[in-house]
Structure 1
Amino acid sequence: MNPLEKLFADLPRIPSMPRVVQDLIASLCKEDIDIGSLVAQVKQDQSLSARVLAMANSSAFGVSKKIGAIDQAVTLIGLTALRSLVIASGISKAFAKVEGLDMQVFWRQAMICAGVARQMGKHQGVNREFAYTAGLMHRIGLLLIHLASPAKAQQLSAPDTPSGLEFIELERSLLGLDHCEVGAELALRWNFPPEIQNALRWYVQPLNAEAGPLAAIVNLSEAVTHELLKGEEPEKISVLLDPAVLAKLSFSRADAEKRIEACVDLPESVEALM
């Protein structure tokens, strides 16, 4: 049994996806999904309904009076936002509690990264909903590592733990695998599209020959997210981005800065939904 098979065998259980999320994942390439059926499923989930109403009533939509009906909220926020919210809610609920991790911090960072990835994917020939989902899930393998090997996982959570390739090397030295491999395998088992599986597998190594453009987008998005959370300005953030990764996407720094500018309010808007 290789290390990846052993990790999944050691899991108390493999988290499952709610049916509504599975349906949405299957519909990511479609625009003609049954909105009525989706709204009906949302209404059956109190937590999800609350988040849909919170989004509709947020400052981003500038409504003059409070919206209290799910149907009205869905009409206002639109299919794209609804898909994102349902997918984010479903995936985060699958990992409601993981020992050793602050899940609110984890999902806040993930949701900001997802929003940045959608913006970074604009005009890059990628499915922007794939970009959102890959950004949301980019570190999900780390959750499985904590669930399967909590003692070893604690060594990955020290304040001086490295990042990027050094972090992957540390994971491999401890476990014989890394969170990118684990996340890609989970995406495979959850029947996510191959492009998302590839992005999760290679986002830390976006210049690898096997890495697709979505991996590069997630790589940049994670870097942008960290800087946004520190309150840095778009111009400074764009200068910090890896020029080789920008080149892979045919991004100029001006392109990157423009997309980052569109993301500066994400930390605040995500906070309102947590």
Structure 2
Amino acid sequence: MTPIERLFLSIPTLPSIPRVVQELITTLGDDDADLGALVSKVKQDQTLSARVLRLANSSHYGSRHKVGAIDDAVALIGLNALRTLVIASGVSGAFASIPGIDLKLFWRHAGQSALIARSIGRKARLNAEFAYTAALMHRIGQLLINAAYPSVAKEIAAENHDLDVTELASVERTHLQLDHSEVGAELARRWYFPAAIQNALRWYGDPMHEQAGPYAGVVHLSAQITLGLEHGEDDASIAAALPDPLLQKLVLDRPDMESEIETARDAQQSAAETA
């Protein structure tokens, strides 16, 4: 039995997502998908609708008015972005509680990374919703590690305070012979996410690997920017730390990233003021 198989068998209750969310996942990347019919199903699920509207109001879509209904969200952000929000709400709602993890902080970090990734994805001429979804899920493997092995996860956390992805993965492999990137990619596979998103989760910590696709690089940049903001670093320091080879791979330049950091900081401050 492989370490991955052992981990999934050790999770007391494997997280699951609503059927309509699963159906929406299968339409990612399909420009001809009938999203209207699936949105109608979302409306019939009151719990899911409430979570989606919460996300629509907390995300930075530029509306000055509260989004009060799914149809309002469609008018404001469009069907493709709404699909992404439904998937995001389904993914986050799959984890009610995890030992040793503050889920509110976890999803705040994930959400900030996702918003930055969407914008970077557009600049890199990639599918912005793929970028958002991959960044939202980039640390989801940590949740499964904590669910399967809470005592070992506590030891891992004690050895890695700053959440640096390379160090974290190294510590995880020492203890478990796998890391959260591998676990997240496997969950994405089991949930039938597109191969590009699976690849992003697997390689975001090593985006210059020969197997890493462009979305892994976008997620790496968005996660690094988010951590810099959370650690209180100034914009220039965050931008200077972004790896040149990765920017070149994605055909991005440093001024692009400086603009992203400034926008993300303004959004972060705005969210804090209205919290």
TM-score (norm 2): 0.88
Please tell me whether the aligned partners of residues 3 and 178 of structure 2 are also in contact (alpha carbons under 8 angstroms): yes
Which piece of structure 1 moves more, 8-17 or 24-33?
24-33
Show the counterpart of 2:17.
17
Task: Give the alignment of 1:6-45 within 5 angstroms.
Answer: 6-45=6-45
Show the counterpart of 2:83.
83
Letter in 2 for 1:242: P
Task: Give the alignment of 1:143-158 within 5 angstroms.
Answer: 143-158=143-158
1:263 aligns with 2:264: yes
Show the counterpart of 2:5.
5
C-alpha distance after superposition, 1:48-69 (max 9, x if no partner):
3334445666783023xx6544
Show the counterpart of 1:165.
166
Distance 1:187 1:68 in 2: 31
Distance 1:48 1:233 in 2: 37
Distance 1:108 1:196 in 2: 20
Task: Give the alignment of 1:78-227 within 5 angstroms.
Answer: 78-158=78-158, 160-161=160-161, 163-227=164-228
- Structure 1 residues 248 and 69: alpha-carbon distance in aligned structure 2, compared to 1, 3 A threshold: closer
Distance 1:227 1:170 in 2: 21
Q: Tell me by how many angstroms 1:272 deviates.
A: 9.6
Which piece of structure 1 moves more, 4-13 or 192-201?
4-13
5+ residue gaps, structure 2: none
Distance 1:165 1:57 in 2: 34
Which piece of structure 1 moves more, 13-22 or 199-208?
13-22
Report the RMSD for the aligned CA atoms in angstroms. 2.6
Distance 2:273 2:22 in 1: 26
1:228 aligns with 2:224: no
Show the counterpart of 1:62.
64
Fraction of identical pairs, as percent: 51
C-alpha distance after superposition, 1:158-212 (max 9, x if no partner):
2753522221111011011111111111111111111111111111111111111
- Structure 1 residues 273 and 17: alpha-carbon distance in aligned structure 2, compared to 1, 3 A threshold: farther
Distance 2:8 2:26 in 1: 24
- Structure 1 residues 259 and 205: alpha-carbon distance in aligned structure 2, compared to 1, 3 A threshold: same
Please tell me whether the aligned partners of residues 56 and 85 of structure 2 are also in contact (alpha carbons under 8 angstroms): no
Distance 1:134 1:251 in 2: 19
Letter in 1 for 2:21: V
Letter in 1 for 2:83: R
- Structure 1 residues 17 and 94: alpha-carbon distance in aligned structure 2, compared to 1, 3 A threshold: same
Letter in 1 for 2:8: F
Distance 1:164 1:134 in 2: 15
Please tell me whether the aligned partners of residues 115 and 266 of structure 1 are also in contact (alpha carbons under 8 angstroms): no
Please tell me whether the aligned partners of residues 160 and 171 of structure 2 are also in contact (alpha carbons under 8 angstroms): no
Distance 1:233 1:8 in 2: 40
Letter in 1 for 2:156: L
Please tell me whether the aligned partners of residues 54 and 273 of structure 1 are also in contact (alpha carbons under 8 angstroms): no
TM-score (norm 1): 0.88
Is the partner of 1:263 in helix, strand or coil? helix
- Structure 1 residues 45 and 206: alpha-carbon distance in aligned structure 2, compared to 1, 3 A threshold: same
Letter in 1 for 2:121: G
- Structure 1 residues 266 and 45: alpha-carbon distance in aligned structure 2, compared to 1, 3 A threshold: farther
- Structure 1 residues 96 and 222: alpha-carbon distance in aligned structure 2, compared to 1, 3 A threshold: same
